[in-house]
Chains A and B, each alone.
Chain A
Amino acid sequence: MKFKAMTAIAALVISAPFMASAEADDDELIVNDEITMVTKTAAPAHLADDVDEIISGWHFRSDETQIMQADDFDNPGMIFVEQAMDDWNTVMGSKDKSCASCHGDVEESMVGVRTVYPKWNDAKETVYTMEMQINDCLTDGMGAEAWKKSGSKMARMEALISVQSRGMPMNVAIDGPAEATWEEGKELYYTRTGQLDLSCASCHEENYGNRIRSDHLSQGQTNGFPVYRLKNAKLTTAHGRFKGCVRDTRAETYNPGSPEFIALELYVASRGNGLSVEAPSVRN
């Protein structure tokens, strides 16, 4: 056969020549011909009154963007995962340790970790995001400087850790000691902000599948974060995206790492419980 992968672009366009609808499509995401992703599933119990089915943001993207995520070589987000692998093995800080000194092979020790974050931290008596745990490791465990919250080093380390859970279902706990934080996050999700007077729900619960200008609104799921955005050719963290969303309502935003965004991350993650971890996903 003479035709190659490049022709796939045209083939996909031909298969759906007029994408007039902005609704979620019925494509299936299998990464590297190996990892079958759950990209649509029944909503978790706590959402049952509001949403029937939870849908990955992947379904709202064009075919060209979708296929970029179906192969690790085509996914530019994997560049950052490779860079984080170097960080993982680099000795940092006064204690002469690397991540690997304590955690060994990331491909073994970090399996499943992404699926349960954010989660309650007993010792610190608060809900911890993966970023907080990474910074604790750096400062307390390694005697190194903390990384900038949602900065590029942090985003790529989150991506490396997340990759180890690809295909596994998101499963953050919302009861027990985390419940109060989860409730705070829920409150924020439904609170309208900014000159445009929009809540998260205004777009991502009431209007997913509709257009906002010429873009397609997704459900705002976090299972693909950190996400590689074609827009700026970088990884964006969940908190970075939250900040952009709140800014787009023309409000003063909370900062990455703020208690508000930690609570919101837990709540939004819980709305995706059951979807496969996709990070690093590819979005526009």
Chain B
Amino acid sequence: MNFTRRETLALGVGAAALTVLPFRVHAAADEAIAAFTGGAEVGEGGIELTAPEIAENGNTVPIGVSAPGAVAITVLATGNPTPGVVTFNFGAGAASQAASTRIRLAGTQDVVAIAKMADGSFVQAASTIKVTIGGCGG
């Protein structure tokens, strides 16, 4: 496999596969979810969270979220000291309701993305990311 950037872009077709996993969160994360949703019911489907299965170093973990038609997407790291990670609010100038960033994870844990859709409903996706303890490198 080559690693020119163009080719990695073109490989993106199958991106949807990784996401939805059994859903278990901690109390602080529950509160953060409630703060975002206002207690509304959260469905599934229509949102993708892309993240590595294994992160080589928890200090810099690349993730991406995408939820066509969302007005906002929040990301929570359920096993961090404070679960909040990032909230993307999409404006009229956004070409897609998708974004990516690099995050810190305190250890192996579930990362949750929740999208607020234009009709006021909410959907979520979750992914378990294993954070390795390095030898000398990590």
Do A and B form a real pair? yes
- Chain A: residues with CB nearer than 8 A to chain B? 2-15, 17, 19, 26-30, 32-33, 61-68, 70-71, 76, 211-217, 229-233, 244-245, 248, 283-284
- Report the 10 A-B pairs with minimum CB-CB distance, sorted nearest first: A212-B135, A6-B64, A7-B12, A6-B100, A215-B135, A11-B11, A3-B12, A7-B15, A8-B8, A10-B50
Chain A residues within an 8 Å CB radius of B16: 10
> Given A27-B2, A245-B136, are A4 and B98 also a contact pair (CB < 8 Å)?
yes
24 pairs from A and B in contact (CB 8 Å cutoff): A3-B13, A4-B12, A4-B96, A5-B9, A6-B100, A7-B15, A7-B64, A8-B8, A10-B12, A10-B14, A10-B15, A17-B53, A28-B1, A28-B2, A32-B5, A62-B52, A65-B56, A67-B8, A68-B62, A213-B133, A214-B138, A215-B135, A232-B59, A245-B136
Q: Digit string of B76-105 for contact with A (CB within 8 Å is 1, else 0)? A: 000000000000000000001011100000
Instruction: Check A215–B134 contact: CB distance below 8 A.
Output: yes
Cα(A61)–Cα(B12), bound, Å = 21
Partner among A3, A9, A63, A212 whose Cβ is within 8 Å of the Cβ of B136: A212
Cα(A213)–Cα(B5), bound, Å = 31
- Chain B: residues with CB nearer than 8 A to chain A? 1-6, 8-9, 11-18, 48, 50-57, 59-64, 66, 96, 98-100, 132-138
Instruction: Check B135–A5 contact: CB distance below 8 A.
Output: no
Total A-B pairs, Cβ < 8 A = 146
Instruction: Check B64–A2 contact: CB distance below 8 A.
Output: no
Instruction: Check B17–A14 contact: CB distance below 8 A.
Output: yes
Partner among B14, B62, B100, B134 whose Cβ is within 8 Å of the Cβ of A11: B14
Chain B residues within an 8 Å CB radius of A232: 59
Cα(A7)–Cα(B18), bound, Å = 11
Chain B residues within an 8 Å CB radius of A231: 57, 59, 134, 137-138
Instruction: Check A71–B56 contact: CB distance below 8 A.
Output: no
Instruction: Check A9–B137 contact: CB distance below 8 A.
Output: no
Chain B residues within an 8 Å CB radius of A64: 52, 55-56, 61-62
Cα(A65)–Cα(B60), bound, Å = 9
Cα(A215)–Cα(B137), bound, Å = 7
Instruction: Check B17–A10 contact: CB distance below 8 A.
Output: yes
CB proximity of B98 to chain A, nearest CB, Å: 6
Instruction: Check B54–A19 contact: CB distance below 8 A.
Output: yes
Instruction: Check A12–B17 contact: CB distance below 8 A.
Output: no
Cα(A8)–Cα(B56), bound, Å = 17
Chain B residues within an 8 Å CB radius of A68: 62
Chain B residues within an 8 Å CB radius of A2: 96
Closest B residue to A62 by beta carbon equals B56
Closest A residue to B101 by beta carbon equals A6
Name 7 extra pairs, CB < 8 A, besides A2-B96, A14-B18, A30-B2. Answer: A6-B64, A6-B99, A11-B14, A62-B54, A63-B52, A67-B3, A230-B60
